Structure 1
Amino acid sequence: MDELRKEKENLLLRLRKIEGQIKGIQKMIENDKSCNDVLTQIAAVKAALNKVGAIILEKYSKSCIAEYKNTENEKSIDELIETLLRFIK
């Protein structure tokens, strides 16, 4: 349970950092910063958000696969595939 709590805290910390980056981008636009600088920060936010998604997807995938191994229920694998397809769009 302690590991789950740490993972959750790590994700929330990452999301708070992303939130700060987005606020920074808003200020950059308000202050007429260069498009290059703004787009660089947007790329950083996208990368950070993709990392959060990848971490969550990894945990979810492991959970679905473990459930399938225990129950051989195709539904868990189908849900995993649907989630993967949504994430990569």
Structure 2
Amino acid sequence: MLARVRRLRGQIEGIERAIENEEPCGAVLHGIAGARGALAGLMSEVVEDHVTSHLVDADEHPKALNRDAAEELLEVIRTYLK
């Protein structure tokens, strides 16, 4: 996850440089789109980790959710975040 955050930081800094250098709007928009995708990927990873670690770990949480239902939920979230 830290690698994703660091990559995202680099992308944001790239957007900042592009704006400071008055680069064409297209270049700035591409940078924003890339950062948005990276942020969505980070969000997906954190949500997936939370669900698998805290909601469906039957050893830690005897009343955990059904693993198949959790996987179905994660698929919907992954699709939404793309």
TM-score (structure 2 length as normaliser): 0.69
Displacement after TM superposition at 1:70 (Å)? 3.9
**Cα distance between partner residues in 2 of 1:50 and 1:73:** 26
**1:44 maps to 2:34:** yes
**Cα distance between partner residues in 1 of 2:7 and 2:64:** 38
Higher relative contact order (CA 8 A, sep 6+): 2
Instruction: Point out the structure with the larger helix share.
Output: 1
Check conservation: 2:11, 2:31, Cα contact below 8 A: yes
CA RMSD of aligned residues (A): 2.8
Query: Which residue of structure 2 aligns with residue 12 of structure 1?
Result: 2
**Cα distance between partner residues in 2 of 1:67 and 1:44:** 37
- Structure 1 runs (4+) greater than 6 angstroms displaced: none
Alignment coverage as a number of residue pairs = 69
SS at match of 2:22: coil
Equivalent positions of 1:1-89 (< 5 A) are: 11-63=1-53, 64-67=55-58, 70-72=61-63
SS at match of 1:18: helix
Displacement after TM superposition at 1:68 (Å)? 9.1
> How high is the sequence identity, in percent, across the aligned residues?
30
1:40-87 residue CA offsets vs partner (Å, 9 max, x unmatched): 11000010011011011111111212259843268xxxxxxxxx7xxx
TM-score (structure 1 length as normaliser): 0.64
